[in-house]
Amino acid sequence: MLIDRSTPGGLRADYFAQHGWAHGRLRLPAEGHDWKQFAASWDELVPDAYLGQERCRRNRRFGRVLAHRDGTLEPLHGTEFFQSKEINRAFGDQLRVFEPLTETVLASNHFPRILRETVDLVNEVAGKQDWELGIHFIRVFADADRGSEPAPEGRHSDGHAYVAIHLIDRHQCVGGRNQVFRNNESQAQYSVTMTEPLETLILSDTAMEHDVSEIRPDELSESGWRDTMIVDFNTVPDPAGVAGRTHSSLQ
Ligand SMILES: [Fe+2]
C-alpha cells in the first residue's frame, strides 16, 4: 500500500488510466488577490440543510456545468442532486436541492480553469466527450469537543463516472485523510492527507471506492475547518436532453 506519497509524476493521465486514481497538484497558481477572493467564497457557503448535527457540520453550495467536448463550459440552471439509497446510505433516495454557486464564483478566473484542467485529465483517460459536471463547494467544521466526518456515509462510491476532490484550504485542523480502495478490496490502494491548495485526488467512481477520515481542530485551536471543491463527472448521452441549459459559456 502506498501511504502519503503523491502519484509518481503527479496528476498523470497514464497513471490515472492504469490505476483508476491519481493524486497531485493542478498546474495552476493558488496565490495572489484573485485566488484569495476565490478561496474566500467558501466563507459564503450556507449550512447543509439535509445534515443532522451529530456527526458533521458542513456548509455547502452546488452548481452544474455542461462540459462540451469542444471545450465550452456551459453553466446550467438548477441545483437538484439525487443519489439512490444503494449509492448513499446516509442521504440516498431524497432529492436534495442545494443553494447555487454565487455569481462571483461563476465570474472568477479560477473556477473555469480548475474545471478545464480536471476535464482535460478525464478526457485523456475516458476519451473526449460531453460531461455533466456536479460541482460541490464544501466546508466541514470541527470543534474542540467534537470532530467532524466530512463523509458521514463512510467508505463509498458516489454513483458517477469520475470524481475529483480538490483541496482549497484548511484552517487549524488535523485529519481529513483520503483513502482510495478498489471495489471489494479491504486494503486501501492509497492514502493521503492533502494540505496544499489545489492538491487533487481524482478517481474512477466505478472502479474505486473512497473515504475520508474525521477532522479535528489542531492542538492550539478551539475550532477548525477544511474546504474542498468536489467535481462529479456524469456521462451525457445527448446534450440536448440535459436539464437547465443556458447556452452561455464560462470565460
Ligand atoms: Fe464521495
0.85 surpassed by pTM: yes
List, in order of start, the domains of the chain with CATH numbers: 2-241 (2.60.120.620)
Measured in Å, residue 151 CA sits from the centre of ligand 1 at 7
Measured in Å, residue 104 CA sits from the centre of ligand 1 at 26
Per-residue pLDDT of 153-198, as tens digits, reads: 889 999 999 999 999 999 999 999 999 999 999 999 999 999 999 9
Measured in Å, residue 140 CA sits from the centre of ligand 1 at 14
Whole-Å CA distances, 241 to 116, 132, 155, 237, 238: 22, 11, 32, 8, 6
Measured in Å, residue 88 CA sits from the centre of ligand 1 at 9
Measured in Å, residue 38 CA sits from the centre of ligand 1 at 23
Asked if the model's pLDDT at residue 8 lies above 80, the reply is no
Q: How far apart are CA 129 and CA 127, in angstroms?
A: 6
Measured in Å, residue 158 CA sits from the centre of ligand 1 at 5
Asked if the model's pLDDT at residue 2 lies above 60, the reply is no
Instruction: Check: CB of residue 55 under 8 Å from CB of residue 152.
Output: yes
Burial of 220 (0-12, 13-18, 19+ CB in 10 A): exposed
Number of H helices, E strands in the chain: 4, 16
Measured in Å, residue 157 CA sits from the centre of ligand 1 at 6
**% residues pLDDT > 70 (the chain):** 95
Count of Cβ atoms closer than 10 Å to residue 246 Cβ: 11
Asked if the model's pLDDT at residue 54 lies above 70, the reply is no
Enter the C-alpha cell of residue 99. 443553494
Per-residue confidence (pLDDT) for residue 68, from 0 to 100:
98
Model confidence at 145, pLDDT cuts 50, 70, 90, reads: confident
Q: How far apart are CA 61 and CA 7, in angstroms?
A: 30
Per-residue pLDDT of 95-106, as tens digits, reads: 889 999 999 999
Q: How far apart are CA 198 and CA 166, in angstroms?
A: 6
Whole-Å CA distances, 108 to 8, 69, 104, 224: 31, 22, 6, 26
Measured in Å, residue 33 CA sits from the centre of ligand 1 at 30
Model confidence at 93, pLDDT cuts 50, 70, 90, reads: confident
Measured in Å, residue 178 CA sits from the centre of ligand 1 at 10
Measured in Å, residue 126 CA sits from the centre of ligand 1 at 20
Enter the C-alpha cell of residue 46. 450556507
Measured in Å, residue 133 CA sits from the centre of ligand 1 at 14
Measured in Å, residue 236 CA sits from the centre of ligand 1 at 20
